Amino acid sequence: MHWSFDFKRIITHTDRVIAKAKAPDIIKLSWGEPAFPPSKKIREALLEAFNKGYTRYTPPAGLQELREAISDKLRRKNKIDTDPSEIIVTVGGTGALHLIFRLIAKGEVITIPNPGWFAYPSVIRVAEANLVWIDEKKYGYEALQKAREGLKRKGKELKAIVINSPSNPSGYIFSEKQLKEILDFAEDYSAYIISDEVYEDFILEGKHISIASIKKDCVFTVFSLSKTYALTGLRIGYIVAPDKQIAKELTILQLHTCVCPTSFAQYVALVCIRDRIEEEYISKWISVIKENIQYLDKKLKERGITWEKPKGGIYAWFPLPRIDSKKFAFELLEKKKVAVAVGADFGTKWDEYIRITTAVEPEIFREGIDRILQYYDEIQK
């Protein structure tokens, strides 16, 4: 078409797999959401929201009582010392990223981890910024400096650094050393850090460190209720901004983009965070994820495939040697009725990789894995 967006570059193979995988008989391992049911307490919270009159516009940064509950949670769980005036409640994690990218990086360049969430490039391009992939394990002072120099030569500025820990898709957890190096770089070269921590509650090994707990004044941290509460439809996320002034500017952008997130949904978020309802079930979910990973690991080993088990998050990310992931995903969907995310969408060297969701009932997960590997075995012959 004749618009300013290049639509071919902002729609991925995985987007198309997800759009195609609608029939109820399809095993959906392509999705970025836990397949577990949400807590029954959500039902009560919705009722309460209506009864208490949460049916109207909220302040554009979100309900004051919600931002206070978030501030308490951040202090307790993330060791981030922040004031409600530095928090903006957004339309999910994507809504948060969109606002940040538009505010700080329009026309400039953002680095993202390789592999990294398949939608980062699209969200960045819709916000009219550009991107550079950097190997997630090498993400640190030296790699960033090298990327910056390359950009300088092209007259471009490295404006922001995205980190995603635990990572989607690999489940990688950034080490404290890495986080400190990234902070040092950001400080030395006036870059911002955007820390996407939407999988903070899914830790399988080691521990999660919020980078803003180390230093906060160049960091935007993004959280979401989608994964922790199995409520991707709630569309509630939040940003912890570097300071009050930047939070205000993000708020003005949100006001003129959508006014505010849904009031009912904000009230549900308040109940979830204030009452810590995830404590009821999160360790059970993590056991299921670990069990699923064990099953997959055994099956991959049987075929001599080596992979790295995730340390966090809700995905397994592994190679199927000699496949073309773009072709494989669409054929698998058609022939075996299993939907998976396409490795090629997650960076620059993942044509033989696929990503599957591990936050699924074991019975379904196993059936999905069996079909994937059965199809893989068939095409290897």
Interaction site with a second copy (CB under 8 A):
1, 3-5, 7, 10-11, 15, 19, 31, 33, 38, 42-43, 46-47, 49-51, 54-59, 91-92, 94-95, 98, 103-104, 106-107, 119, 122-123, 125-126, 230-235, 245-246, 249, 252-253, 255-265
Nearer to a second copy, 110 or 231 (CB): 231
Q: In this structure, are residues 335 and 26 in contact, taking their beta carbons and an 8 Å threshold?
A: no
What residue ranges in the chain does DSSP mark as E strands? 27-28, 87-90, 109-114, 130-135, 158-164, 192-196, 219-224, 237-240, 315-319, 338-339, 341-342, 353-357
Nearer to a second copy, 227 or 311 (CB): 227
- Report how far residue 162's alpha carbon sits from residue 116's, in angstroms, rounded to the nearest whole number: 10
| Nearest in space to 360 (alpha carbons), one of 380, 340, 377 | 340
Please say which residue, 172 or 199, places its beta carbon nearer to a second copy.
199
Closest CB to a second copy among residues 161, 293: 161
Which residues share a beta bridge with 114? 135
Under 8 Å between Cβ of 175 and 203: no
Nearest by Cα to 78 from 217, 216, 245: 216
Instruction: Report the C-alpha dihedral over residues 13, 19, 25, 29, rounded to 10 degrees.
Output: 50
The distance of closest approach from Cβ of residue 191 to a second copy in the complex, given in angstroms and rounded to an integer, is 13
Provide the minimum distance between the beta carbon of 43 and a second copy in the complex, in angstroms, as a whole number. Answer: 5
Cβ 142 to a second copy, closest distance in Å? 27
Nearer to a second copy, 59 or 362 (CB): 59
Q: How far is CA 259 from CA 56, 85, 223, 251, in A?
A: 11, 17, 20, 9
* 58, two tokens: 């909220």
Q: Which is nearer to a second copy, 175 or 262 (CB)?
A: 262
Least distance (Å) between residue 78 CB and a second copy: 24
CB of 166 to a second copy, least distance (A): 20
Q: Which is nearer to a second copy, 95 or 343 (CB)?
A: 95
Residue 243's CB is within 10 A of a number of other CB atoms, namely 14
What is the DSSP pairing of strand 315-319 with strand 192-196? unpaired
Measured distance CA(125)–CA(98) in Å, rounded = 10
How far apart are CB 367 and a second copy at their closest, in Å? 20
Nearest approach, Cβ of 152 to a second copy (angstroms)? 19
Q: Is-contact 267 49, C-beta < 8 A? A: yes
Nearer to a second copy (CB atom), residue 103 or residue 344: 103
Q: How near is the Cβ of 194 to a second copy at its closest, in Å?
A: 15
